[in-house]
Chain A
Amino acid sequence: MSDVTLAAPPTPSALPEQPVSAHDANSLISMRDIWKTYEMGSEQVHALHGVSFDIPKGEYIAIIGPSGSGKSTLMNLIGCLDTPSKGEYWLNAKNVSLMDDDELARIRNQEVGFVFQTFNLLARATALHNVELPLIYGGIGSSQRHEMAKEALRAVDLSDRITHRPNELSGGQRQRVAIARALVNHPSILLADEPTGALDTHTSMEIMDLFERLHGEGNTIIVVTHEHDIAERAHRVISIRDGLIEKDEKIR
């Protein structure tokens, strides 16, 4: 990339895009011409064809797209579970695209809080222990860990459930434990993958209310979904189709 202003990706869609430039130092997330290519036998499949966007700190953003759009790939990249084949990803002023496995693990531990569709709690562990888990990998001592985990559970209104195991909790409660686990390390971003996909409508609304509240408290939230009513709760929606950004709009 000798001349960054000329290195704009092909943009077949109609989005008036910013030119690709060096990462924006003010953004929490800065994606620059991200490509992800998979080898399928002899064929190369491009899951992402040069995606660029910025997310400032404190934003509530939804990434929406049908299955096969590259939405999951993008989420894995944002969550530092994977690295791009090409392009630069800056997270909190760190160039993640060049990191090795252990550095990525550390970034996931410190900067990213995951919330999954199926909660993914450890079945045999109590709510408290589940929430403590990221702190264990963060090398935090047990008494401090307890305090932090209790506080995170308090933040999701589960103070009275800390000794319960997942099978003693309702779906909504489980997801709240998962959110507490995601928040316990005070990460830069809360990254939720279809967070209401396994919940009924009423509970879904409760969880979305919780996200809204957490956003109000200053958290940066990224929700990946294919449901429009979930996406509409966010303040900005990025639509992905065929590995490209189709639309990127502020809705609030």
Chain B
Amino acid sequence: MKLIRSDIYENLKMALATLRANKLRSFLTVFGVMIGVITVMLISSIISGVDTAVKKELESYGTNSIFISKYNPGIHIGRLSREERMRKDLTYDDAVALTQLPAVELSVPFLDIGNNFFGQKILVSSPGKTSAAVALQGTLPDFERAGTQIVKEGRFFTQYENDNNEEVAVVGSSVGQDFFPYGSPVGQEMGIGGRQFRVVGVLEKREQFLLGGGDDDQNNIIYVPFNVARKLKPGSNDVYVQAVARKGMMDEALDQITDLLRVRRQVPFGKPDNFGLQTAELFLSNFRSILSGVAIAMVVISSVGLMVGGIGVMNIMLVSVTERTREIGVRKAIGARRSDIMWQFLIEAATLTGFGGLVGLSIGWLLTFLLRLLLPSYVPLWAPIGGFVASVGIGLIFGLWPAWKAARLDPIESLRYE
């Protein structure tokens, strides 16, 4: 059956003429569709932007790195469980033991000494400034070999300095700027917890999007030798460990670390681990599952916009059918079949919403440019295609009933309609 006999092109031309003849009405009608499409564009671009940024940031921690702590990985909501709080510490010796594993390239412990033994913040000072709001961590010089933090100026501290309890520090870029705004921090003295430290290196600025920012600035950090850190916070044993797998041996490393830690921490057979391993990849997949939840919620919201737009289109098409009853009668008299009339109005509705979709795409596209000033975002190809298809589809679906009404009109009565 030649369903689209009076070809789509002719209908499209007629539809565009109708659209031009009713500019304001058409615009108001497709406003909802426009908003829906703009939302789709913006959301997709925000999500893609966040995804890229987070991926890049996580990769800066090393794709071969495994972060180990006594707590479970992931994002915690509320208090830790009692079991988790009662876990025994992950120790320096654990970190050292991991270096013996065949799939592990290196393993570095970190001791967080932000608070001292009494739970007070350790004060950090330079000749011009004193602050308690700096992260302090003790670690080993192997950290530099992990490649996740690059020394921009000066050097990292050495194993010799660690072994001899020398009071030297490597500072993050923010610390460098805050405490030594005029000139290089390297070679300068800093007070940490009442002791005098010599700054030997400054780290490259770490780009951050998801992790940190504000008080949680990843560049607002000072690394000191592990042994010295222990002296600043006596009795503190709980470390977290960054292990780096040998090239291409990520899975083996994860298995070996898990096995070894289960033995060292005496986890009975069949019981769950009492420690947590985190990798950039794992973190990313966790993050993405959250992100896709957000994306689904947003799609639902924007489809509500599209639905509202669709109702508007249905309304205006019903009006249009009534207004043009006589025209429909004439068309039928000169040989239009029901299907011809049906297609005419369906295509008109789809043109209307498709046009709204295109306007929405253009506005959305401009807005994503503005967004790019805040976030390194891009618009994934599916967003404009999906947005356009959805808007045309809305026209077809919501135009169905008005078109059917038009197609069913009786030619004789329509010709008599005033």
As a 0/1 sequence over residues 292 to 332 of chain B, the CB contacts with chain A under 8 angstroms (1 = contact) are: 00000000000000000000000000000000001101111
Q: Is B5 an interface residue (CB 8 A)?
A: yes
- Which residue in B326, B331, B337, B339 is a CB contact (below 8 Å) of A133? B331
In the bound complex, do residue A120 and residue B415 qualify as a contact, i.e. CB atoms below 8 Å apart? yes
Shortest CB–CB separation between residue A181 and chain B, in angstroms?
Answer: 7
Q: Is B260 an interface residue (CB 8 A)?
A: no
Which residues of the other chain, A, contact B334 by a CB distance below 8 angstroms?
108-109, 114, 133-134, 137, 181
Q: Is B94 an interface residue (CB 8 A)?
A: no
In the bound complex, do residue B6 and residue A105 qualify as a contact, i.e. CB atoms below 8 Å apart? no
Q: Is A19 an interface residue (CB 8 A)?
A: no
In the bound complex, do residue A137 and residue B5 qualify as a contact, i.e. CB atoms below 8 Å apart? yes
Shortest CB–CB separation between residue B114 and chain A, in angstroms?
Answer: 75
User: What is the number of residues of chain A that contact chain B, defined by CB distance less than 8 Å?
Assistant: 25
In the bound complex, do residue B10 and residue A136 qualify as a contact, i.e. CB atoms below 8 Å apart? yes
Q: Which residue of A lies closest to B21 (CB)?
A: A124
In the bound complex, do residue A106 and residue B21 qualify as a contact, i.e. CB atoms below 8 Å apart? no
Known contacts: A124-B17, A137-B5, A137-B6. The answer to whether A108 contacts B335 by CB under 8 A is: yes
Shortest CB–CB separation between residue A78 and chain B, in angstroms?
Answer: 12
Which residues of the other chain, A, contact B330 by a CB distance below 8 angstroms?
116, 120, 122
Q: Is B338 an interface residue (CB 8 A)?
A: yes
Known contacts: A120-B326, A139-B2. The answer to whether A102 contacts B338 by CB under 8 A is: yes
Interface class of chain B by DSSP: helix
- Complex alpha-carbon distance, A114 and B5, angstroms: 22
- Complex alpha-carbon distance, A16 and B109, angstroms: 120
Shortest CB–CB separation between residue A232 and chain B, in angstroms?
Answer: 27
Known contacts: A101-B338, A106-B335, A137-B336. The answer to whether A81 contacts B411 by CB under 8 A is: yes
Q: Which residue of B lies closest to A178 (CB)?
A: B330
Q: Which of A197-234 contact B (CB under 8 A)?
A: none
Q: Is B340 an interface residue (CB 8 A)?
A: yes
Which residues of the other chain, B, contact A79 by a CB distance below 8 angstroms?
333
In the bound complex, do residue A76 and residue B335 qualify as a contact, i.e. CB atoms below 8 Å apart? no
- Complex alpha-carbon distance, A185 and B6, angstroms: 15
Q: Is A138 an interface residue (CB 8 A)?
A: yes
As a 0/1 sequence over residues 100 to 116 of chain A, the CB contacts with chain B under 8 angstroms (1 = contact) are: 01100110111000101
Which residues of the other chain, B, contact A114 by a CB distance below 8 angstroms?
333-334
Q: Is B96 an interface residue (CB 8 A)?
A: no
Q: Is B97 an interface residue (CB 8 A)?
A: no
Q: Is A151 an interface residue (CB 8 A)?
A: no
In the bound complex, do residue A122 and residue B327 qualify as a contact, i.e. CB atoms below 8 Å apart? yes
Which residues of the other chain, A, contact B18 by a CB distance below 8 angstroms?
124
* B: contact size bracket: 20 to 34
Which residues of the other chain, A, contact B335 by a CB distance below 8 angstroms?
105-106, 108-110, 134, 137-138, 185
In the bound complex, do residue B333 and residue A139 qualify as a contact, i.e. CB atoms below 8 Å apart? no
Which residues of the other chain, A, contact B411 by a CB distance below 8 angstroms?
81
- Which residue in A81, A105, A134 is a CB contact (below 8 Å) of B337? A105
Q: Which of A50-90 contact B (CB under 8 A)?
A: 76, 79, 81-82
Q: Which of B17, B18, B331 has the most CB of A within 10 A?
A: B331
In the bound complex, do residue A137 and residue B337 qualify as a contact, i.e. CB atoms below 8 Å apart? yes
Which residues of the other chain, B, contact A134 by a CB distance below 8 angstroms?
334-335
Shortest CB–CB separation between residue A138 and chain B, in angstroms?
Answer: 7
Q: Which residue of B lies closest to A123 (CB)?
A: B327
Q: Is B412 an interface residue (CB 8 A)?
A: yes
Which residues of the other chain, A, contact B2 by a CB distance below 8 angstroms?
139
Q: Which of A81, A82, A110, A181 has the most CB of B within 10 A?
A: A81
Q: Which residue of A lies closest to B7 (CB)?
A: A136
Which residues of the other chain, B, contact A76 by a CB distance below 8 angstroms?
412
In the bound complex, do residue A116 and residue B415 qualify as a contact, i.e. CB atoms below 8 Å apart? yes
Known contacts: A122-B327, A136-B6. The answer to whether A81 contacts B336 by CB under 8 A is: no
Q: Which residue of A lies closest to B416 (CB)?
A: A72
Shortest CB–CB separation between residue A39 and chain B, in angstroms?
Answer: 14
- Complex alpha-carbon distance, A139 and B335, angstroms: 11
Known contacts: A116-B415, A124-B21, A137-B5. The answer to whether A81 contacts B327 by CB under 8 A is: no
Which residues of the other chain, A, contact B333 by a CB distance below 8 angstroms?
79, 81, 108, 114, 120
Which residues of the other chain, B, contact A106 by a CB distance below 8 angstroms?
335, 337
- Complex alpha-carbon distance, A198 and B332, angstroms: 22
- Which residue in A101, A116, A125, A139 is a CB contact (below 8 Å) of B5? A139
- Complex alpha-carbon distance, A63 and B257, angstroms: 102
Shortest CB–CB separation between residue B415 and chain A, in angstroms?
Answer: 7
CB<8 Å pairs between A and B, sample of 13: A76-B412, A81-B411, A81-B415, A105-B337, A106-B337, A109-B335, A116-B330, A120-B329, A133-B331, A137-B6, A138-B335, A139-B2, A185-B335
Interface pairs A-B: 6 shortest CB-CB: A109-B335, A137-B335, A105-B337, A120-B330, A134-B334, A136-B6
Q: 13 other contacts beyond A109-B334, A116-B330, A120-B330, with CB at 8 A cut-off?
A: A79-B333, A102-B337, A105-B338, A105-B340, A108-B334, A108-B335, A110-B335, A114-B333, A120-B333, A136-B6, A137-B334, A138-B335, A185-B335
